[in-house]
Amino acid sequence: MSGAKLEIVRAGALTTIQDLGRFGHAALGVPRSGALDQPAHRLANRLVGNPDSAATLETTVNGVSVSATRTVTVAVTGAPAPVRVDGRPVAWAGAVRLPSGAVLEVGGATAGLRSYVAVSGGVAVAPVLGSRSTDLLSGLGPRPLANGDTLPVGEAPQVLPAAADIALWEAPPKELVLPVLLGPRDDWFTADGLRTLAAGRFSVSPNSNRIALRTEGPSLERAVLSELPSEGMVLGAIQVPPDGKPVVFLADCPTTGGYPVAGVVPQAHLAAAAQAVPGTPVRFVPVRRRRAR
């Protein structure tokens, strides 16, 4: 039952195609990319019976509207938002039948930033280096969606999705608390600088995007002022540029960088970072490594 198409009726502020990311090519300078809120992406896929690796739509702030050329199952997760099919309210974070030609409207996020729309069979655009993700830093993968775009939909899964009465989902918190494993370059900061990281009142900058969550607030004092030769970067790295304001690297971050990384936010906490709206207070909490040395 392939050959179905998804039509983008209203693309919204920024809607991209995302999957689990483009890993394995960082040595060539290729960013990892992929869904910023991975648990939400995975849940959406599970609700429609897809494997986690199927591509979903990632919206930003004001949702998306789509219709399909054959009847499909859809699910909307991530940032809570009103969901309608041809104007009738339907479940958020639940499997929803979208009849052929009907319009699925995902409204503005009532909390958080990014909603995920899964469709049974997955969005089946051609993969680039093993991933269908849009990478806004390097321009790899499909460009952000525009009104009127049509996207191929994959073969519908043979197995029906597991029935779920409710999907438990934590609302994005009022304060973003990010645990930090210090290093590898915490010794490039003064003791005062590291205290600022742990005790400073930061907030999410409106300049945040898929590349990084930028912060507003105090600056971290450097102990080493020389230039850091470029080194490999990981997701969640807290890089500190010359202005001293910590930047948390998200999926589309560069693979190497020349500013010191004071610490790293464990991956499990990056979904919350991706849902934090500008202005949200941010607290970094250095945690002890299990057995650091």
Interaction site with other proteins (CB under 8 A):
23-30, 128-129, 138-140, 181, 183-184, 229-234, 236-237, 254-256, 261, 264-267, 289, 291-293
Closest distance between other proteins and the C-beta of residue 275, in Å? Answer: 20
Residue closest to 255 by CA, chosen among 44, 26, 96:
26
Q: Which is nearer to other proteins, 126 or 162 (CB)?
A: 126
Q: Which is nearer to other proteins, 167 or 234 (CB)?
A: 234
CA–CA dist 109, 40 (Å, integer): 14
Q: Which is nearer to other proteins, 64 or 233 (CB)?
A: 233
Closest distance between other proteins and the C-beta of residue 169, in Å? Answer: 24
Tokens 């890089």 belong to 239
Eight-state DSSP code of residue 173: P
Q: Which is nearer to other proteins, 116 or 249 (CB)?
A: 249
Task: Dig out the tokens for 190 from the structure.
Answer: 């003064």
Residue closest to 39 by CA, chosen among 229, 268, 286, 252:
268
Q: Which is nearer to other proteins, 48 or 261 (CB)?
A: 261
CA–CA dist 40, 31 (Å, integer): 21
Closest distance between other proteins and the C-beta of residue 138, in Å? Answer: 5
Closest distance between other proteins and the C-beta of residue 1, in Å? Answer: 30
Q: Which is nearer to other proteins, 206 or 232 (CB)?
A: 232
Closest distance between other proteins and the C-beta of residue 135, in Å? Answer: 9
Q: Report the residue count for the chain.
A: 293
Ranges of beta strands (E only) in 128-245 are: 150-152, 176-182, 202-204, 212-216, 231-232, 237-239
How many helices and strands in the chain, by DSSP H and E? 3, 20
Largest Cα–Cα distance of the chain, in whole Å? Answer: 62
Task: Return the H-helix or E-strand segment holding 85.
Answer: strand 83-85
225: Cβ contacts below 8 Å, ≥ 6 apart: none
Closest distance between other proteins and the C-beta of residue 94, in Å? Answer: 32
Closest distance between other proteins and the C-beta of residue 28, in Å? Answer: 5
Q: Which is nearer to other proteins, 119 or 265 (CB)?
A: 265
